[in-house]
Amino acid sequence: MDIEKTLSEMTVEEKAALLSGTDFMCTNPIPRLGVPQLLMADGPHGLRKQKESGSTGVTRSEPATAFPTAACTASGWNPDNLKKMGEAIAEECRYYGVNLLLGPAVNLKRNPLCGRNFEYFSEDPYLSGVLGAAMVEGVQSRGVAVSLKHFALNNSENYRFMGNSVASENTIRKLYLRPFEYIVKHAKPATVMCAYNKVNGTLCSENKWLLNDILRDEWGFEGLVISDWGAVSDRIASLRAGMDLEMPGDTAVCRRQILDAVSDGSLPEEVPNRACRRILDLVDRFSLPPEKKAPDWKKHHMLAAEIAADCAVLLKNDGVLPLTGTEKIHITGELFESMRYQGAGSSLINPTDLTTPADAFSAHGIRSVPLAESDLVLVFAGLTDFCESEGCDREHMRLPEDQLREIDGLLQSGKKLIVVLFGGSPVELPFCDRVSAILSMYLPGQNGGTALYDLLYGLKNPSGKLAETWPLRYEDVPGGEKFSQKINEVYAEGCEIGYRYYNKHNVPVRFPFGYGLSYTTFEKTDWTQDGNTWTQTVRNSGSRFGAEVAQLYIDGELRGFEKVYLEPGESKTVAIMLKPEPETAYSDAYTVPPEPARYPVTLESRFTDFQQSFMGRMLYRFLLSIAGKMERDTRRKTRDLPDGPEKDNMQKGAFFLRKVIENNSPRSLSMSAGSKLPYNFAQGFVELTNGHFFRGIACFLKRIKVPKLPKDQY
């Protein structure tokens, strides 16, 4: 494509259309000029391509491989896992005609209660950056673009649509921007997705300091900036700030703003031209035709198990593991048959296959025996689908009460207990000292059952290391008492999150960052320095093949790592070269603005705040009734369905929708819904809630007129 020629022949109306998405997951084509559309799809750990064009749901998607989530893959400390996973996901994208994958997600784990932590790698920016870069390289090596997200300081869910992240420049630059910086400089992602929230009072979609001054001018990013779905407020301000493509689009108000601003001269045409140029470049580079040959689904299923086994973390073992196959085992816990293998929300994948622990045990002839007959007990516990989800933050760090009661009861039997944990985040483990072994699978993907069997019976040796600290109790988490409670999310702890905080203040933890046991033993020399190179020798001093991670910390921060796989008696010397980093001093100052008044409500208010007036309560109940109807319909539709991915995904989708509505704002919901909830309707709801009946009616009657989209003109 001759981009400059195409741009010169485009009308202002076509440019305004190109700057906006359409049909929820596509860019706008310009048929007159032969500009095709690009198709996007979630997500970070597998493909979620909707079956129906323009669908906003999260349940009806094409079959794809559900790989382990980032919370799991990060524990592998192995970039090759992410590269291979990215390549496989890209193959599936090419088969389904998807040009742009919305991931990876590299926001830091500031607090263990964040409902979306299962999608994020680590509390450490360097580890997150290295793993994220590997995935970007893997995906883009197969001709599929990525969208690095969510830029930036998007570290909680309750107020993510309208929250204001308040932090010092020192905290922002030295911690929260570092994963993005590493990936932009080392892997060159095609696009970056800006987050919903504000940073120090300015929406990310309108934040010139983030999108231009840092991302483009300092880091040299040459790609496209797209919005998160519904993250745009003022389209002109976002264009000026460097936010190119508004998603999901089909918002008449944004096109109208562009057309009017160009027409009256308040927006120089070079501003939309610059964004259009970037979009055309993306289309030109990544509008590849679908691959006719289907991916090797079985191979991808096995790759999912291979990665899950490499990433599982053995947290405790008194010698009971690995099992020999001769033990009589009492097996209990709902997650044995209903394995939790992925999270809930926009990354919900329709798996091509599913191997649960029950499936794997059955295939190998392993049967549960009664408790008064067992040698030991195997308990499957963890966070269920409704304990953690995108769209809301967890209320506490405990396991479900029924699981805790069951474990306590089993301990009374005097039997040895092995606890297998599933979940996307750390949990409190009050029983830790009384059980014999704990194996954390995190969220291991669709073939987690195979990985688990291989680990328990010693066919694979656990080698995962925690990519986040597991506190003894939530009360020990820095700033935990104020996390995700108000619109102004104040990062008062500065850079002291995760292991930085616990180590500096000598706070005991359940399991530290970088921790993980093995069935073999390793000996490591101290790190030695020769100029810019640091070396350490690792030796497998045990009797089993296994892997260890050499971790280099300087001044209390992770600066390098390498995972080495060693036969018994084998040694390897790890060499890590560090480039000198210039010391730059940034301000630790920040200003906490007053919390906005809850009433009168605005376009930025949470829908939960609408309940302060009669009309607001009516609107809020109406919105929740939509979600409630979906949940009731889901219960009815799934009543006779067998347990499995279809039933689980439908139930999780209904739960996710309700949480998203509760925590959303009229502006963001309108921008996400496009023509289904026009902007003037959102304005009308706000006016009615505030008691302005006639103003509200006027808003409903005020239609925003725009030309037909280019795709509809032919």
Residues labelled catalytic: 228
Written as one letter, the residue type at 110 is: R
Distance CA 405, CA 408 (A): 5
Task: Say if residues 361 and 331 touch (Cβ distance below 8 Å).
Answer: yes
Q: How far is CA 254 from CA 96, 154, 161, 337, 604, in A?
A: 30, 24, 18, 48, 17
Cα angle at 612 between 607 and 616, to 5 degrees?
55
Distance CA 456, CA 320 (A): 10
**Beta-bridge partners for 416:** 376
Q: Return all residues near 663 (Cβ < 8 A) that are at least 6 apart.
A: 157, 158, 159, 160, 161, 391, 392, 606, 607, 608
Report phi then psi at 145, rounded to 5. -80, 160
**Beta-bridge partners for 22:** 26
Closest listed residue to residue 327, CA positions, set 410, 433, 193, 418: 418
Task: Say if residues 471 and 429 touch (Cβ distance below 8 Å).
Answer: no
Task: Say if residues 258 and 710 touch (Cβ distance below 8 Å).
Answer: no
Task: Say if residues 177 and 152 touch (Cβ distance below 8 Å).
Answer: yes
Written as one letter, the residue type at 584 is: T
Task: Say if residues 97 and 125 touch (Cβ distance below 8 Å).
Answer: no
Residue position matching structure tokens 């925590």: 663
Q: How far is CA 591 from CA 158, 168, 350, 404, 588, in A?
A: 22, 8, 45, 42, 10
Distance CA 103, CA 674 (A): 23
Closest listed residue to residue 204, CA positions, set 271, 152, 253: 152
Q: Which two tokens stand for residue 141?
A: 């090596």
Distance CA 512, CA 503 (A): 9
Task: Say if residues 42 and 102 touch (Cβ distance below 8 Å).
Answer: yes
Closest listed residue to residue 350, CA positions, set 646, 41, 44, 40: 646
Cα angle at 316 between 310 and 321, to 5 degrees?
70
Task: Say if residues 711 and 268 touch (Cβ distance below 8 Å).
Answer: no
Distance CA 682, CA 671 (A): 10
Cα angle at 338 between 415 and 108, to 5 degrees?
95
As to burial, measured by CB atoms within 10 angstroms (0-12 exposed, 13-18 middle, 19+ buried), residue 82 is buried
Task: Say if residues 560 and 127 touch (Cβ distance below 8 Å).
Answer: no
Q: Which two tokens stand for residue 419?
A: 């606890």
Distance CA 286, CA 64 (A): 21
Give buried/exposed letters for 2-23 (b at 16+ CB in 10 A, else e).
ebeebbeebeebbbbbbbbbbb
**Beta-bridge partners for 577:** 533
The DSSP secondary-structure symbol of 661 reads H
The DSSP secondary-structure symbol of 337 reads T
CB atoms closer than 10 angstroms to residue 430: 15
CB atoms closer than 10 angstroms to residue 684: 21
The DSSP secondary-structure symbol of 577 reads E
Closest listed residue to residue 344, CA positions, set 573, 43, 126, 623: 43
